[in-house]
């Protein structure tokens, strides 16, 4: 499965009262279906809707739908980099309008200072899935898994630099609920399957292979 990221630049900033205190939120279209995006990908609506419904039930409704500041390179959520919590995703035509609360975490405080300083931030969804190319367009397949509906990202001057999209050199697998890189998993399996008299040789070969990829 490939790591897939999509960026949307049109988000609004809101300050709302919450438990007697004012809380900063971001709001805007977090996810878009049926339209070919700048990365040449299309999310069929029935696939995205099914995954958003799961994400809402398992993460948003249970207050576990977090996002990070920046462009993480893995599908997992790094709690030390969490900046906000997604509190709502509402279907609107072919889009899902999201709302997220900026948290009082170290990264959340950085995001808040950037916003209050006038910085223009965008949101970037992050998920895993396979793609099928049809007439030069990549269609996201039913195995798509949404990791987070919105990471907070900067808006560079060059549109092409805003999103890196699919990380072609990395693939991921589920292993008992844990996301692991395919290459690391393959190296471990090669060592496990090695015969006793070959273990040292296989370990050395896999270690050299690992170093060559750094």
With bands split at pLDDT 50, 70 and 90, how would you rate the model's confidence at 60?
very high
Task: Tell me the average pLDDT across 96-119.
Answer: 90
d(CA 138, CA 16): 39
- Tens digits of per-residue pLDDT, 76-105? 899 999 999 999 999 999 999 989 999 999
Q: Is the pLDDT of residue 169 over 70?
A: no
Q: Which has more pLDDT, 88 or 12?
A: 88
Token pair for 63: 């207050």
Over pLDDT 90: what percentage of the chain? 36
Of the chain, the end-to-end C-alpha distance in Å amounts to: 21
d(CA 139, CA 185): 27
Strands 12-18 and 21-32: antiparallel
Looking at residue 69, what is its pLDDT?
Answer: 93
- Asked which of 59-68, 108-117, 137-146, 197-206 is least confident by mean pLDDT, the reply is 197-206
Cα angle value 95/97/103 (rounded, 5°): 145
Looking at residue 11, what is its pLDDT?
Answer: 73
Looking at residue 63, what is its pLDDT?
Answer: 95
Helices (H), the chain: 45-55, 106-116, 182-193, 199-212
Looking at residue 161, what is its pLDDT?
Answer: 25
- Asked which of 5-14, 35-44, 163-172 is least confident by mean pLDDT, the reply is 163-172
Task: Tell me the average pLDDT across 110-119.
Answer: 87
Q: Is the pLDDT of residue 190 over 80?
A: no
């Amino acid at each position: 499965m490939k790591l897939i990221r999509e960026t949307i630049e049109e988000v609004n900033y809101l300050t709302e009262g919450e438990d007697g205190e004012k809380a900063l939120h971001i709001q805007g279209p977090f996810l878009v279906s049926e339209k070919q995006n700048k990365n040449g990908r299309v999310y069929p609506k029935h696939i995205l809707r099914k995954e958003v419904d799961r994400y809402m039930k398992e993460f948003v409704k249970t207050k576990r739908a977090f996002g990070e500041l920046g462009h993480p390179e893995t599908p997992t959520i790094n709690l030390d980099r969490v900046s906000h919590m997604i509190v709502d995703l509402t279907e609107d035509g072919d889009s899902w309008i999201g709302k997220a609360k900026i948290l009082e975490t170290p990264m959340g405080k950085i995001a808040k200072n950037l916003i209050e300083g006038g910085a223009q931030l965008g949101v970037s969804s992050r998920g895993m899935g396979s793609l099928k190319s049809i007439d030069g367009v990549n269609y996201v397949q039913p195995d798509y898994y949404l990791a987070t509906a919105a990471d907070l990202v900067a808006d560079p001057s060059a549109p092409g630099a805003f999103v890196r999209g699919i990380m072609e050199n990395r693939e991921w697998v589920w292993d008992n609920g844990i996301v692991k890189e395919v290459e690391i998993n393959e190296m471990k399996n090669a060592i496990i399957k090695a015969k006793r008299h070959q273990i040292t040789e296989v370990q050395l070969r896999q270690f050299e292979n690992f170093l060559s990829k750094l």
